[in-house]
Amino acid sequence: MILLVILTQWYVRKITGRIQFRRGPTRTGPAGVLQPLADFMKLLSKEDVVNKYGLKYSPLVIIVLAIGSLISLSLVTPLAITPIYAPYDFLIIAYVILLAPFALAYLALSAPNPYSSIASGRYLVLLISADPAYIATHLVPVMLAAKYFNTHFSTYLTSTVSHQLWTASLTSAIAMAISSVAGFLSLMAILMIKPFDFPEAETELYWGLFTELGGPRLAMGFFLKFLEKIVFPLIYAMLFLGGVWPAEPGNWLASTLVVLIKYVVVLTLITVIDNSMPRFRPDQGVRFLWKYCYTLALLGLAVAILS
């Protein structure tokens, strides 16, 4: 997973550089592929300077737990040689997924600073507006798979049959189509992809959530943020883009390659959008999520229940 974080960050920085008519990382490693690792190690090696009125230990504990929780989710994906699954494990996975964004907010709030406080407030509002819709949309394929293929509300088992949900019935296809759109919008919001990056707002809030952070704390915050960019799009690809299909679930190498290709497609799309779109104001972003994303999420859930 650490290797995947390094490669993902390098790929995102390369795509961003090309869009902005730059070259991206070029110095460390072949084609600059080791530049993210060098940046991470440089931050880790620095002194951990803590604000006099800030929290010293609890933010580190929370951020390490969040990183560990996201890494553990790789065990329920096709990336694991022997994936772990159980009836109703979707509930546990949903809880673990939502731990990471709130850990980022806690890390930002641990150091008193006007910019980071404003950014944390915006981020929490964004999470409250996006998280329920995100869970509702991802519940749709899990429910449909449990109904048509008896997968017992297991996320991994759902991913093995998710491609069949698009053709199981007309109502199932409609529910999947609606939920895939709402799920992608909520995914962008949770990852703070433009136009939903108003908690960061570099030119407005200096550096948003990371304004007061430096050294190891900044390194851990960045690491968690890029872990989110791996886990969230990966689960989206598993549930809405056919999972391991056209590979066989029993073929680990083929399944891993197929899922990673679909993940790269999703990551490329959100990276291009992030570098092409303007930014919402906080009120515009929240209004958009409640007006459109929630409506689509509830509509897709209703169609799935009635199918």
pLDDT tens column, 45-69: 888 777 777 788 888 898 899 998 8
Sorted by sequence, the CB contacts under 8 Å of residue 112 that are 6+ apart come out as 51, 53, 54, 212
Sorted by sequence, the CB contacts under 8 Å of residue 300 that are 6+ apart come out as 136, 137, 140, 175, 176, 178, 179, 182
Sorted by sequence, the CB contacts under 8 Å of residue 234 that are 6+ apart come out as 77, 79, 259, 263
Residues lower than pLDDT 70 in the chain? 202-207
Q: What pLDDT score does 221 carry?
A: 86
Q: What pLDDT score does 297 carry?
A: 93
Sorted by sequence, the CB contacts under 8 Å of residue 100 that are 6+ apart come out as 66, 67, 69, 70, 224, 227, 228, 231
Q: What pLDDT score does 261 carry?
A: 93
What are the backbone angles phi and psi of residue 194, rounded to the nearest 5°?
-55, 140
Measured CA to CA, the distance from residue 174 to residue 304 in angstroms comes to 9
How far is residue 221 from each of residues 101, 140, 187, 262, 296, measured CA to CA in Å?
10, 31, 19, 26, 32
Tokens representing 37 are 């690792």
Type of residue at 168: A
Q: What pLDDT score does 145 carry?
A: 92
Are 124 and 159 within 8 A, CB to CB?
no
Q: What pLDDT score does 206 carry?
A: 66
What does pTM read for this prediction?
0.89
- Tell me how crowded residue 202 is: count the other CB atoms within 10 A of its CB: 10
Are 93 and 119 within 8 A, CB to CB?
no
- Tell me how crowded residue 240 is: count the other CB atoms within 10 A of its CB: 27
As a whole number, the mean pLDDT across the chain is: 87
Measured CA to CA, the distance from residue 85 to residue 247 in angstroms comes to 19
Q: What pLDDT score does 268 carry?
A: 93
Eight-class DSSP state of 245: T
